[in-house]
Structure 1
Amino acid sequence: MQNNGNGNGNAPPQVRDKTGEFLKGHPPIFKHSTDPLQVDDWLHAVERKLEIAQCDDRENVLYAAGQLQGAALDWWESFRFGRTEVNPITWQEYRNAFRSHHVPAGLMKLKKKEFLALKQGGITMAEYRDKFIQSSWYAPTKVEDDDKR
């Protein structure tokens, strides 16, 4: 048995470097986009990196906000300092505020309508599946479980 100097022979728990794990995945930077769909692409990419790094809610917000620059960073600073709520910003709150600022509500409604009207038509089953998965992002309550999908 190895003694690490604490008298009980147990090794100290290893602390994970979540910041390093997150950054090692090369999360994309977001400055501004005139294409609202790129906003969702950025959000998806960052969420994947956060999940891989196993970040908690607070870390999700901090690390994602750390990937903002330019106009997007200006939005974040304004949002953060203009908030009257005393509780920490949750990931869901960040995500919703980020999307509502960068993606016009009218586009979200249009994309949801497109999803609900999606038909296979003249495309292959694989193409339809891919379009279904991509479009479902705009109607999350319609695909939250297998029965609804």
Structure 2
Amino acid sequence: MKGCPPVFTHASDPLEVDDWLHDVEKQLNIAQCNELEKVLYASGQLQGAAQDWWDSFQYGLPNDAPVITWREFKDNFRSYHIPDGLVELKQEEFMSLKQGSMSVAEYHDKFAQLSRYAPNDVAEDREKQRRFLKGLYDGLQL
């Protein structure tokens, strides 16, 4: 708790959900939490409508269900709060990203932000570099 974990109630922008999960996971990794602790920690940071979702999610599980893993928590949290179509749009935006009028630093930041939505396309460093270079001005690609 010393890391001042972010609280989540709701998001006007669904992509804020991903940002919250990213921030919480960062804190969990620093604290070296196990799978159960991660779920307990993150669910303890939910309030309001997000807490209602968690209560409903838990209520819908069978009594003899195994302990919820961190992966299950993240996947269900994302699928409830982020529409599938939005993730697909962000993947397409990443795939078609070009430097355009952005500086290289701005392009780099946008590339890093959008690459979160296409992890399979940048899983290997070599592929990530290729995609990054492909979006630069022709003169800069060399």
User: What is the TM-score normalised by the length of structure 1?
Assistant: 0.81
Q: In the alignment, which residue of structure 1 is the partner of 2:38?
A: 60
Flag structure 1 segments of 5+ consecutive residues without an equivalent: 1-22
Match for 1:90: what amino acid? T
Distance 1:38 1:49 in 2: 17
Q: Indicate the SS of the match to 1:148.
A: helix
Match for 2:108: what amino acid? R
- Superposition deviation, residue 126 in structure 1: 1.2
CA RMSD after TM alignment: 1.2
Match of 2:74 among 95, 111, 131: 95
Q: In the alignment, which residue of structure 1 is the partner of 2:122?
A: 143
CA deviation string 1:103-132 (max 9, x = no partner): 111111111110111111221111111111
Distance 1:94 1:145 in 2: 26
Match of 1:113 among 81, 88, 92: 92
Distance 2:10 2:106 in 1: 30
Flag as ranges the 4+ runs of structure 1 deviating above 6 A. Answer: none
Aligned positions, number: 127
Verify: 1:29 aligned to 2:7, yes or no. Answer: yes
Mean CA deviation greater in 83-92 or 135-144: 83-92
Q: Higher Cα Rg: structure 1 or 2?
A: 1
Distance 1:123 1:83 in 2: 48
Distance 2:28 2:115 in 1: 21
Distance 1:83 1:147 in 2: 42
CA deviation string 1:34-88 (max 9, x = no partner): 2111111111111111111011111111100000001100101111221237221
Distance 1:62 1:142 in 2: 32
Identity of aligned residues (%): 57
Flag structure 2 segments of 5+ consecutive residues without an equivalent: 129-142
User: What is the TM-score normalised by the length of structure 2?
Assistant: 0.85
Verify: 1:80 aligned to 2:58, yes or no. Answer: yes
